[in-house]
Amino acid sequence: NAGVMQNPRHLVRRRGQEARLRCSPMKGHSHVYWYRQLPEEGLKFMVYLQKENIIDESGMPKERFSAEFPKEGPSILRIQQVVRGDSAAYFCASSPRNFGGNTIYFGEGSWLTVV
Amino acid sequence: KNEVEQSPQNLTAQEGEFITINCSYSVGISALHWLQQHPGGGIVSLFMLSSGKKKHGRLIATINIQEKHSSLHITASHPRDSAVYICAVNTGTASKLTFGTGTRLQVTL
């Protein structure tokens, strides 16, 4: 049973380009969460999705950021017109249910560098 | 003030020492997680607690709900335990985790 798979592991983008980060949850998990870790800062919640639904996006910046979790395929975190401040590690996590009482499983992270 | 506070921020220990990392939180929670993050690496969930104590190998985690405090203990520490240990809590909205800023542990020979 493969764990949470994220790709790419490392991504370099020039300012103004788009970044797409992908996350395949563990088999049987229908809940996906994205977190961001800025350099020298703690992790921050971004968005919580179930298949075809955004449940909670209160941690997402209002502009340039979007997330989806389609019926088929991985969850995608999309950052348009990237700026240097978007450079961070982006972690995806999944759980079989809303993890109020469940262990959460993290991916290895995607490190975005904006030059 | 952060909702989740960890101490110490940095910790250096010699191999074999007993290590304690503390986490205090100021909100009502449904569960508390201890996570491990290696340099440049991913995040591993070590424990999820809602009460009492859990043990896994050389790791022990305790939580006191009344005092809003949790501790992570490492017995007989080893250099491979060197990592950042992060405390995180599920608050009222179960979908969100609120994280502490982490404790950077280095265990030397």
* Structure confidence by residue, pLDDT tens digits, B47-91: 999 899 999 999 999 999 999 999 999 999 999 999 999 999 987
**Contact check, Cβ <8 Å, A43/B86:** yes
Mean pLDDT of the A84-96 span:
93
Tell me, yes or no, if A40 comes closer than 8 A to chain B by beta carbon: no
User: Which residues is A67 bridged to in the sheet?
Assistant: A77
**Contact check, Cβ <8 Å, B95/A107:** no
Within 8 A by CB and 6+ apart from B29, the residues are B68, B89, B90, B91
CA B91/CA A79 separation, integer angstroms: 27
> Which chain A residues are closer than 8 Å to B33 by Cβ?
104
Tell me, yes or no, if A35 comes closer than 8 A to chain B by beta carbon: yes
Whether a cis peptide bond, with omega within 30° of 0, leads into A8 is: yes
Averaged confidence pLDDT in chain B: 92
> Which chain A residues are closer than 8 Å to B50 by Cβ?
101
Mean pLDDT of the B28-46 span:
89
Out of A31, A33, A43, name the one closest to residue B99 (CB): A43
**Contact check, Cβ <8 Å, A42/B30:** no
**Contact check, Cβ <8 Å, B50/A48:** no
A43-56 as b/e: b if 16+ CB within 10 A: bbbbbbbeeeeeeb
Mean pLDDT of the A74-79 span:
98
Give Cα separations from B18 to A33, B24, B59 (angstroms).
34, 20, 10
Give Cα separations from A67 to A45, A70, B32, B74 (angstroms).
13, 10, 26, 38
Is the model's pLDDT at A109 over the cut of 90? yes
- Say how many CB pairs under 8 Å bridge A and B: 62
**Contact check, Cβ <8 Å, A55/B95:** yes
CA A114/CA A87 separation, integer angstroms: 6
Is the model's pLDDT at A97 over the cut of 80? no
